[in-house]
Amino acid sequence: MNVVEEKWNEIIEHLRVEHELSHISFSTWIQPLKVYNVVDNTVYLLVDKAASVDYIEKKYSLPLKVCIAEITGIEYEVVFLSEDDERIEELKKMSSASTDKRKTKTAAEKAGLNPRYTFDTFIVGNNNNFAHAASLAVAESPGEVYNPLFLYGGVGLGKTHLMHSIAHFILDFSPKKKVVYVTSETFTNELIHALKNGRESSMSDFREKYRNTDVLLIDDIQFLIGKESTQEEFFHTFNHLHTAGKQIIISSDRPPKDIETLEARLRTRFEWGLIADMSAPDYETRMAILQKKIELEHLEIYHIPDDVLQYIAQNVKNNIRELEGSLNKLIALYRLEGNGRPIDINLAAEAMKDILSPDDNKTVTPELIMDIVSDHFGVSIADLKSNKRPAEIAVPRQIVMYLCRKMTDVPLKSIGILLGGKNHSTIKHGVEKIEHDVEENEQLANTIDIIKKKINPV
């Protein structure tokens, strides 16, 4: 599904709020619109009544374009179609071609891979060229060269990106190969689930998934922490795959010898293959990453001056996620200012003020907790602050409440204000709910344990 289709409800809701549409205008003109197709950078919207096309086009084309860009971060043209429009036939053909294309992608989708994380989009610099070369060699000859391949490096330096690139490469050339990518958190939680279930079949399903694979990628192995049963199971999985000549790729924030909670027998095995580190990129690499992002996300339309890009690259040195985040924030600020302010160094400084004044001793603040929880679950800060009720948003929000309570001295009332103005009793309820659930739910306890370690790395 294209991002516009995925976020369509959010886009029209944004339009409703931003343009203060009355209920009647919204339900008459906007709600009935359907995303018919998205081809390159054009969104085709189907209008239910042919007679309305001209009116909707005149009145809503520009506002919709802006809202789509604001919500998706990508600029699209908007074209309105009625059902009898002759372009529909043309689009049908295109859409069946793209469905065919999609079919070939399902292996990568099934393996849970981010389509953006490929070798093509990965910038090679002095900081990562060894890890990159080793990854490419493994991708070209899985199970034959470095086994396991152990990638390590600090937060946001491209370990996940490189692992997904290997998996994409293998699946592109050998779509039939079984590739499993998981974080060690998922591995642990699936094991807990299988063990708790108590049925023989659950455990055999678990083993079938992890042992009957050609390539196993385990991200963030440092979180396979101090849990004997998990390490035991992983040890057998590892031996099984390694003996069968199957490829294992592991990532961590530190080398095997420094993972204190790791059993010695696993540590030794991780050292059997190749260990490659990824360090912080130099200035040229940071500039190249920013330029690549501009190209990939079609941000050229903003004509960001060179000195602004240089300013970002000079100031964000140790985390590529923050480098990308600074660019996103700059553009978001520019849009918010209604084009009133030019994109210049002042605007960049404002966009980056949280990053430029980092807390070196990393005091745990509610903002830090919110950032890490948002990143961990892939839920936006806006959603955490909202009143949305689906569990995939409500649970992370309650985890924020719980962790703010446990890890900071901030009063419940202030936590409520931070979380979009919730009252004291909502926060208290959230904290108590998680306190209760972690006692009963080992998977949740494991997840919270991992988030705590991300907030406060040892």
The CB-of-125 to ligand ATP minimum distance in angstroms stands at: 7
The CB-of-286 to ligand ATP minimum distance in angstroms stands at: 10
3-state SS, residue 408: coil
User: What pairs with residue 182 in β-bridges?
Assistant: 218
Estimate the crossing angle of helix 87-110 against helix 159-173, to 10 degrees: 110
Closest-CA residue to 220 (of 139, 157, 159, 129): 159
The CB-of-123 to ligand ATP minimum distance in angstroms stands at: 4
Contact 18, 67 (CB under 8 A): yes
Phi, psi (rounded to 5 degrees) for 89: -60, -45
**Which residues are near ligand ATP by CB under 6 A?**
117, 121-123, 128, 153, 155-161, 220, 253, 289, 292, 320-321, 324
User: What pairs with residue 230 in β-bridges?
Assistant: none
- Residue 160 marked in a binding site: yes
* Two tokens, residue 223: 């979180």
Phi, psi (rounded to 5 degrees) for 306: -55, -40
The CB-of-378 to ligand ATP minimum distance in angstroms stands at: 12
Q: Is the Cβ of residue 148 or residue 156 nearer to ligand ATP in the bound state?
A: 156
The CB-of-195 to ligand ATP minimum distance in angstroms stands at: 26
- Residue 209 marked in a binding site: no
Dist CA 156 CA 320 (whole Å): 5
Contact 323, 312 (CB under 8 A): yes
Q: Is the Cβ of residue 120 or residue 435 nearer to ligand ATP in the bound state?
A: 120
3-state SS, residue 235: helix
- Residue 156 marked in a binding site: yes
Q: Is the Cβ of residue 64 or residue 248 nearer to ligand ATP in the bound state?
A: 248
The CB-of-324 to ligand ATP minimum distance in angstroms stands at: 5
What does 165-215 look like in DSSP terms, one character per residue? HHHHHHHHH-TTS-EEEEEHHHHHHHHHHHHHH--HHHHHHHHHHHHS-SE
Q: Is the Cβ of residue 10 or residue 297 nearer to ligand ATP in the bound state?
A: 297
- Residue 454 marked in a binding site: no
Q: Is the Cβ of residue 91 or residue 320 nearer to ligand ATP in the bound state?
A: 320
Q: Which residue is nearest to ligand ATP (CB)?
A: 158
Q: Is the Cβ of residue 123 or residue 149 nearer to ligand ATP in the bound state?
A: 123
Annotated binding site for ATP: 156, 158-160
Annotated binding site: 156, 158-160
